[in-house]
Structures are given as structure tokens and as C-alpha cells.
């Protein structure tokens, strides 16, 4: 199997997704830490890997870096089909991709370091305003997902059916980073149930931010 390399940061929600998928597929990658708090993503060295200055980037030997966590998850799913991370049927795949995009495209980008940096410098936000902003968009994303999961027939033990899909990986990646910010959202029982089930699995446990190199120890 290819000797992958993964550019990541311990707290990164998007890098967490790739770690989970690699483990589920029985793969591993040598990790290179890009310290997002120190601004390493803006250095020339990393910009040659991802000009958009964001992790993750997965290096498949002999190929240009793969970026965008959803694209990386689909690449891994296509090259190592078992266990599948997308349903076999087109409607199921569309539902899973829709749940994943709701979190990856409509929720997560609002709370990344570059947005925090802009709002707390040019945008005039103090720490309280930034925290209120984070809570606002995590709440909007997860309460919307809760309504959907609670009413859709497609929901099973997991976000879609009874096996882990890309939708669960995205959900857990958002929950993991919310915890790092000490943000909890009430009244999302379906999500809480799915999160508790995912947490029993090694792939999610191993990807936990606080278990990664560079994470604070106390
Ligand atoms: N849509 C991208 C998001 C990538 C992204 O924004 N990653 C964050 C960490 S979770 C990052 O590196 N941010 C750097 C910054 O905001 O300066 C993906 O899914 O890979």
C-alpha cells in the first residue's frame, strides 16, 4: 500500500476526517504538523503543497498533493473500497454527500482560523463576539442537521443507515472541534445518539484532537 504523508494540525477538523478514513480503510500516513496557531500554513514551504494555506493535504507518492477533505475521503473510498464510506445507491450517496456538505461547506468554513483572524483584527470582534459567532454557526449547522436526521427515513444507527459513512465522519469532525472550544449544544438527541455510537469505534477515538502530536498535554 502507498506510503501516504498527511499534512495536518492536531486540532484541525478537516484533518481529523482524513485520519478517521485512513484508519477505517486500514491505512496509515506519516503526519507532518502545520501549526495553524503559529501561521505555518502561510509559509512558502506549505503554500507549495496547498496554495490555499489550509490542511489537510494528502501526499500520494508520485502525485501532486490532494487537498479538500471531502475529495480526499472520496479518493480513499474509491481506491480502497472496503469498508465503503458511501452507500451503493445514487440517492443514498446524494443524501450522505448532502449531509457532509452541510457541515463541510456551510458550517465549518465560518469558524476556521483565517475567519477568526479577520474578524478579530479587521472586523473589530473581541473574544466574546468571536465566541458568540462560533456558537451561532455551530448551533445553526447542528440544529438543522438534527431536524433532518430526526425526520428522515434514511437515518439509522448512523446518519445514513447502519454503517459509518462520510456523513458520520463529518459530523464527528465538527463535534470534535466544538469540544476543543468548550461548546455544547442542547436538544440534539439524534446527533448525541450517533456521536455516542461513533465514539465506541477505534477509528474515531484514534483521530481525537487531544491524542495528536502537538496537542496540549494538560
Ligand atoms: N474545505 C477544506 C477546509 C480546510 C481548512 O480550512 N482547514 C483548516 C483547519 S480545519 C485550516 O487549515 N485553516 C487554516 C486557516 O484558516 O488559516 C477541507 O475540507 O479540507
Cβ atoms of 58 and 72 closer than 8 Å: yes
Look at residue 218 and give its three-state secondary structure.
coil
Selection from 198, 182, 178 nearest residue 190 by Cα: 198
Between the CA of 159 and the centroid of ligand 1 the distance, in Å, is: 23
Is 12 touching ligand 1 by the criterion CB < 6 Å? Answer: yes
- How much is the pTM? 0.97
CA distance 16 to 206: 9
| Assigned architecture for domain 90-206 | Up-down Bundle (1.20)
Instruction: Please check whether the domain covering 4-83 is classified as CATH 3.30.70.20.
Output: no
Instruction: Give residue 111 CA to ligand 1 midpoint distance, Å.
Output: 9
pLDDT tens, N- to C-terminus, the chain (218 residues): 559 999 999 999 999 999 999 999 999 999 999 999 999 999 999 999 999 999 999 999 999 999 999 999 999 999 999 999 999 999 999 999 999 999 999 999 999 999 999 999 999 999 999 999 999 999 999 999 999 999 999 999 999 999 999 999 999 999 999 999 999 999 999 999 999 999 999 999 999 999 999 999 87
State in Å: Cα 119 to ligand 1 middle. 16
Q: Provide CATH 1.20.1050.10 ranges for the chain.
A: 90-206
Task: Please indicate whether residue 112, judged by its CB atom, sits closer than 6 Å to ligand 1.
Answer: yes
Asked if residue 37 lies in contact with residue 43, where contact means CB atoms within 8 angstroms, the answer is no
All three cell numbers of 29: 500516513
CA distance linking residue 104 with residue 204, whole number of Å: 17
What does residue 163 show for φ and ψ, rounded to 5 degrees? Answer: -130, 160
Q: Residue 3: CB partners within 8 Å, gap ≥ 6?
A: 30, 61
Q: Where are the CATH 3.40.30.10 domain residues in the chain?
A: 4-83
Amino acid at each position: 500500500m502507498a506510503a501516504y504523508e498527511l499534512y495536518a494540525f492536531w486540532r484541525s477538523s478537516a484533518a481529523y476526517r482524513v485520519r478517521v478514513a485512513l484508519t477505517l480503510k486500514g491505512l496509515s500516513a506519516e503526519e507532518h504538523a502545520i501549526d495553524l496557531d503559529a501561521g505555518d500554513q502561510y509559509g512558502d514551504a506549505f503554500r507549495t503543497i496547498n496554495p490555499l494555506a489550509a490542511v489537510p493535504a494528502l501526499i500520494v507518492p508520485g502525485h501532486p498533493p490532494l487537498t479538500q477533505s471531502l475529495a480526499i475521503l472520496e479518493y480513499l473510498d474509491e481506491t480502497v473500497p472496503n469498508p465503503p464510506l458511501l452507500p451503493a445507491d445514487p440517492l443514498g450517496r446524494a443524501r450522505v454527500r448532502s449531509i457532509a456538505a452541510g457541515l463541510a461547506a456551510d458550517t465549518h468554513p465560518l469558524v476556521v482560523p483565517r475567519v477568526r483572524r479577520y474578524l478579530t483584527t479587521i472586523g473589530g470582534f473581541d473574544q466574546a463576539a468571536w465566541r458568540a459567532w462560533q456558537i451561532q454557526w455551530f448551533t445553526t449547522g447542528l440544529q438543522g442537521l438534527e431536524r433532518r436526521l430526526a425526520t428522515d427515513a434514511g437515518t439509522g444507527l448512523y446518519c445514513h443507515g447502519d454503517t459509518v459513512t462520510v456523513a458520520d465522519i463529518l459530523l464527528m469532525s465538527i463535534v470534535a472541534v466544538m469540544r476543543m472550544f468548550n461548546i455544547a449544544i442542547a436538544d440534539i438527541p439524534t446527533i448525541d445518539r450517533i456521536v455516542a455510537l461513533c465514539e465506541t469505534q477505534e477509528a474515531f477515538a484514534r483521530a481525537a484532537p487531544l491524542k495528536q502530536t502537538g496537542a496540549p498535554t494538560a
